[in-house]
C-alpha cells in the first residue's frame, strides 16, 4: 500500500477540517504539468482512476513503514521526522540562519506527535486508530472532489489552477 501525504513539515500540506478538504492553489504552468503527468490517456483531463494511480498506487512514498497494510500515527511520526531532516538540509543549503533552523527543529519536534495523530484521525473513518486501504481511497476521493472545481468528474489545468489561497493537500508528482 503506497500512500501520498506530502511534506507536512515544510507546510506544503495543511490538515483541513474534518468536514472538507480544500485544494492548494497552483500557477498555470504548474497546473498544466500536474495534469499532463497524471493524464494517462492524453485527453488533457484526469479522472479519479488516473488521479488515484498517481497519488497512491504509483507513489513511492509510503507511511506504511512496516508494510502491514495499515498506517498508524507512529509510522507517520517517523516519516515527519525524516521530512524534518530534509527540511533542515534545505534550510542549510539556502543559507537560513542556525538560530532559525533550530527554532524550526524545536517547533516541529514539539508538534510532530500531535500532527501525526491529526492525520490518522482525519483519514480513519472507523475510529480504530489505523488507516486501511478503503479509508485511503475515500480520503483521496475527497481530495479529488476538492480539486474538481467544476464538479464534472475530471481534473483539468483550469480546475487545478486557482488564484485564491486555500489550505489543503497539494498534488505531488515524483
Each residue's pLDDT expressed in tens, for the chain with a length of 174 residues? 333 333 332 232 333 333 333 445 567 788 788 888 888 999 989 999 998 888 777 665 667 778 788 889 999 899 889 889 999 999 999 999 999 999 999 999 999 999 999 989 999 999 999 999 899 889 889 988 988 888 999 988 888 776 333 444 555 444
First to last CA, the chain: 16
The predicted model scores a pTM of 0.65
pLDDT reported for residue 35: 86
pLDDT reported for residue 167: 43
127 half-sphere exposure, CB direction, 13 A CA radius: 0
Query: Under 8 Å CB-to-CB from 7, ≥6 apart: which residues?
Result: 13, 83, 86, 87, 172
Determine the Cα–Cα distance for residues 161 and 32; give it in Å rounded to an integer: 8
Length of the chain: 174
Query: Under 8 Å CB-to-CB from 147, ≥6 apart: which residues?
Result: 23, 155, 159, 160, 171
Query: Which residue from 142, 123, 146, 172 is spatially nearest to 23, judged by alpha carbons?
Result: 146
pLDDT reported for residue 85: 92
27-66: pLDDT as tens digits: 778 878 888 888 899 998 999 999 888 877 766 566 777 8
Amino acid at each position: 500500500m503506497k500512500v501520498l501525504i506530502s511534506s507536512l513539515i515544510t507546510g506544503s500540506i495543511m490538515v483541513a477540517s474534518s468536514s472538507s478538504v480544500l485544494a492548494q492553489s497552483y500557477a498555470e504552468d504548474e497546473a498544466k504539468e500536474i495534469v499532463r503527468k497524471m493524464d494517462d490517456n492524453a485527453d488533457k483531463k484526469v479522472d479519479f482512476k488516473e488521479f488515484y494511480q498517481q497519488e497512491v498506487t504509483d507513489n513511492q512514498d509510503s507511511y506504511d513503514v512496516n508494510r502491514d497494510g495499515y498506517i498508524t500515527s507512529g509510522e507517520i511520526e517517523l516519516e515527519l521526522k525524516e521530512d524534518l531532516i530534509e527540511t533542515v538540509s534545505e534550510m542549510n543549503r539556502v543559507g537560513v540562519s542556525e538560530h532559525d533552523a533550530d527554532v524550526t527543529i524545536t517547533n516541529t519536534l514539539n508538534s510532530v506527535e500531535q500532527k501525526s495523530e491529526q492525520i490518522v484521525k482525519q483519514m480513519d473513518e472507523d475510529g480504530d486508530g489505523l488507516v486501511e486501504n478503503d479509508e485511503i481511497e475515500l480520503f483521496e476521493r475527497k481530495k479529488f472532489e476538492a480539486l474538481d472545481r467544476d464538479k464534472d468528474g475530471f481534473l483539468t489545468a483550469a480546475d487545478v489552477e486557482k488564484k485564491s489561497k486555500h489550505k489543503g493537500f497539494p498534488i505531488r508528482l515524483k
